[in-house]
Every structure is written in C-alpha cells, then in structure tokens.
Amino acid sequence: AGQPKLIVEADAEALARTAAERVMARIAANPGRSAICLTGGSSPKKLYQLLGSEAWRGRIPWDRVHWFIGDERFVPESDPLNNMAVARATFLDSDAPPGHVHPIPTTAEDPDASAAAYARELQAFYGADRLDPARPLFDVVLMGAGPDGHTASLFPGYAEIEETRRWVVGVAKANVAPFVPRVSLTLPILASCREMLFEIAGHDKRPILTRLLNGENLPALRARSNGETVWLVDRAALPEEIRG
Ligand code: 6PG
C-alpha cells in the first residue's frame, strides 16, 4: 500500500466539502453497486450533514449505493453513542432504501457475536469470504484518528490491530472514551477499498496529527488502503512548523 496523500484544507467546512466531493467521485466511478464504509465519532459529522443537505442528497444515486460502518460502540441503536444511528439520523434515513443501510447489530449477546454476524453480512454482500485484491469490498472507507492514534476501534497495543484472518472483531474495552465495548472491522478488510479517506480537523487533533506525521507506528498510520489513502486535514490540525 502506498504512502498516504496529505490534502490540507482551510477549515472544517472546506474539509467536509472536499470529503463529500471525493465520496461522490468514487460512487460515480463505479457504474455498478457501490459500497461506502462510514465511521463514527465527531470527525465525519459535518460531512454527514452536508450529504443530507438539499444541495447534496439529490446528487447521490441512492438506489445503487450501500452504506456500511467501520466500527460501532456496543450500545443499542437508540443510544446517542451509536455510530450508525448518528449517520442514519443525519443523512441516511431520509433517502437510503432500507436494505441499503448495513449497521453493525448490537443486539447480539456480546461484541464477539456481533462481530461474527457482521462478518457474515459483509461476506454475503461481497459474495465470498476471501477478498480478491482485484475486486475491493468498498469504494470508500471513511476513517478518523483518535487522540491515542486509534482508528476504527483498533487501539494501539491491542491484539485486534494484528488480526489478519477475521473480518470483524469484538473489542472488550475501549482505550479512550466512550468506554463501552466496541466492534471493529480489521485492517485487511478496511484496506480492501479504492480509497481510504481520513478526516482530521481542528486544534484538538494537532498532537496526534503531529505524532502521525512523525511516523509513529500507531493504528491510524498503519491503516492503509490497497488503493489510495488520503489524509484530509485542516490548517488548525497541522503542527506549527508545517502551518507556517
Ligand atoms: C468511534 C469512531 C472512532 C473515531 C476516532 C476519532 O467509534 O469512536 O469510529 O474510531 O473515528 O475515535 O474520533 P473523533 O472523530 O470523535 O475525534
């Protein structure tokens, strides 16, 4: 996998617009059934609002796009911490056909059972339980970088980051808030995409972005697409020396 491409935007609004354009371009480039892997936390919220706005929602070919999620907090759908519930409420529920939204089920008895169920769902959608490098699972995988360098729910120093066989794993305890169990796609599955798109914005992200740019071997740096990896950052997140 190639080096990430760094794209710097003036602010969080410009960053969300560029992210939306890139998602749309990847959908347009795939004439068939398109699959987008969403993410949680605060980073994608502006993008989701934009995609749900009058100007953008009409541009999405809803009937041929499927929406997945890279990680989930193991809480009910009704909980405000539920990542897919946020995406649904912000932009999916008004336009996506019901069968096109693929949440990680959190009604299973534990995160491992939930992970196994989602792995089966992904494999059924893909039509195989082995990934063919010539046929990526996703068009776009959205990602964020947490303060400790985690991405999806793959935390530094945890065994799950090394997983090469399973598609989805349960994570008993999160390394940062919210301290609820998680369910996460693994690095090789997230890598199976045409584009992995990180959104890293705001002053609070400066310490972790600095560490990542310094090459620290953290999950957010290890996560790479087999296709293109893009880091979309805003000026506020950039380390002083680079910002000028
Ligand atoms: C989650 C997210 C998570 C996120 C990073 C960044 O469930 O928390 O999917 O992995 O991408 O933690 O979080 P923020 O965007 O909230 O900073």
Tell me how crowded residue 178 is: count the other CB atoms within 10 A of its CB: 11
User: Which amino acids bring their CB within 6 angstroms of ligand 1?
Assistant: 39-43, 71, 73, 83, 144-146, 150-153
**Backbone phi and psi for residue 62, each to the nearest 5 degrees, phi listed first:** -55, -35
At 122, list the tokens: 């992904």
Q: Are 39 and 83 in contact (CB under 8 A)?
A: yes
Q: What is the pLDDT of residue 142?
A: 98
114 Cα distance to chain centroid: 18
Give the Å distance between the CA of 227 and the centre of ligand 1: 22
Low-confidence ranges of the chain (pLDDT < 70): 1
Q: What is the pLDDT of residue 1?
A: 59
Task: Kindly list the structural domains of the chain, giving each domain's residue range(s) and its CATH number in brackets, ordered by start.
Answer: 5-56+66-239 (3.40.50.1360)
What is d(CA 231, CA 72) in angstroms, rounded to the nearest whole number? 22
Give the Å distance between the CA of 72 and the centre of ligand 1: 10
User: Ligand 1: which residue has its CA nearest to atom 8?
Assistant: 41
User: Ligand 1: which residue has its CA nearest to atom 10?
Assistant: 152
Q: What is the pLDDT of residues 158-192, one digit of tens each?
A: 999 999 999 999 999 999 999 999 999 999 999 99
Q: What is the pLDDT of residue 240?
A: 87
Q: What is the pLDDT of residue 192?
A: 98
